Every structure is written in C-alpha cells, then in structure tokens.
Amino acid sequence: MSLIKPFAGLRPLTERASDVAAPPYDVLSSAEARERAVGRPWSFLHISKAEIDLADDIDPYAPEVYARSAENLGNMIAAGVLVRDPSPRFYAYRMTMGEHVQTGLVAAASVADYETNRIRKHEFTRPDKEDDRVRQIEALNAQTGPVLLAYPDSAAIDALLAAGTESDAIADVVTDGVRHTTWAITDEAAIAAIGKTFDTLPALYIADGHHRSAAAARRRRPPLT
C-alpha cells in the first residue's frame, strides 16, 4: 500500500481563497471565532466551528453544531466558493513568515500505515476529542482538519517540491502575518515520482494532529458487531 496518494481536493476558487482562509479550529475559542467571522460569510470557521452560527450558549459538541457545519459546507459548494478538482493530484504548500520559508506537500496519507506505526505518534489522545473529530467527519463526509507530518530529509523530495512550485499558484493569501501559497501538481509523471519517492521513506512522524489522525483511523475501522 502506498504511504501517500494524490487526491481530488475540494478547495476555494483562487479568487475566493482569502474569503475562506481561517485559523485551525483548535486555536480559537468559540467567542474568538465569532469575532473573526463577522462580515465573512465564507470563512471556513463557519464549517470548522459552526457553533458561531448558533446561540451563544450552545454546547460546541451538540448535534446541531455538526449539522450546521454540514449545511454550511453544502452552501459553500452550492455557491461555487468551494470546487472539486477534476482529478487526483498532489499540492505543494508554502508558508512564508519574514525570512522563514517552509514548503511541504498536501497528500492523502495511509491510515493502514498509521495503524502499523509507519506513521508514528508521540502523544496520547483524549477519547472526547477523538469523538468530536469522528462526529465531524461523519456529519460532513469529509476530513476538514489536515494533519502535519514530518519526514526524513530528502534531497529528491526537495527537488520534486521545487518543481511543483513552478506553475501558477491556485491560492496565495496573507493572514496573521503569514503568506500561504498553494500549487496543484497535476503532471502524471511528477505525481508518480512523488509517490514512489515517499514510499522509500522508513516512516512519517505526526508533528500536529494526533486527534485528527486517531479519528480518521477510527472512522476507517468496521463497526463492532
């Protein structure tokens, strides 16, 4: 089984990327998210923290919150703010903050390799936080929270990523002092080379997103009988 695979992403239109861009769900309180979303109807916070569209005192883990999240996702797709790419691909993603530049790859990672510890963990997880992420995945039929993985230094991967940033960007947004730039890697030879090169790595390492990873693994397992 491949360690990573390309996928057909559901992403903002290039001209809508700044409207959608938002901090991760777990770095803002509900009150902070409400404030950040004022006047921004397409902010991803309406999906990742949908309690901001309900009563101030609602439990953020209430069923109504997950239902509203799914409704908001459907509305953004129907309005054409989010679009599905027509074929599987990888995405090069760069963050620039001052003089610091960091470029990585957006891909679908193998849950099977997570289960066998080829994708390695270093934190324990809380069942209640896992439950939240499982409910979010099930309500939306989507994984909306990326996992940050680290991999061993590889000149070959560096070269492939550099080549992947030579086309026009599909998103280029500055928020909170950080520039976020994304490119689609659609060339079939490049996609194959990236997958093959990652398959030579001994392991990937979860840097952030242990609960999201655990939730994805739980969602994949067959139900208990």
Nearest alpha-carbon partner for 76 in 165, 149, 144: 144
Dihedral through CA 171, CA 172, CA 174, CA 175, nearest 10?
Answer: 10
Flag whether pLDDT at 219 surpasses 90: no
- Evaluate whether residue 181 is within a structural domain: yes
On whether residue 161 sits in a domain, the answer given is yes
pLDDT at 75: 98
Specify if 225 maps to a domain. Answer: no
State mean pLDDT over 137-161. Answer: 95
The model's pLDDT over 123-145, given as tens digits with 9 standing for 90+, comes to 999 999 999 999 999 999 999 98
pLDDT band at 223 (very low <50, low <70, confident <90, very high): low
Helices (H) and strands (E) in the chain, counts: 9, 11
Helix (H, G, I), strand (E, B) or coil at 61: coil
Provide, rounded to the nearest whole percent, the portion of the chain with pLDDT above 70.
98
Sheet hosting strand 148-150, strand order edge to edge:
119-120, 204-208, 148-150
Range of the domain at 106: 4-220
Per-residue model confidence (pLDDT) at position 18: 97
* Residue 29 forms part of a structural domain: yes
Write the pLDDT tens digit of every residue in 9-51: 999 999 999 999 999 999 999 999 999 999 999 999 999 999 9
Residue 146 domain-assigned (yes or no): yes
Token match 């902070």: residue? Answer: 32
Q: What pLDDT sits at residue 225?
A: 40
pLDDT (0 to 100) of residue 224: 42
pLDDT, one tens digit per residue, over 159-188 is: 999 999 999 999 999 999 999 999 999 999
Domain assignment present for 58: yes
Query: Domains in the chain: how many in total?
Result: 1
Distance CA 52, CA 45 (A): 8
Q: Are 217 and 111 in contact (CB under 8 A)?
A: yes
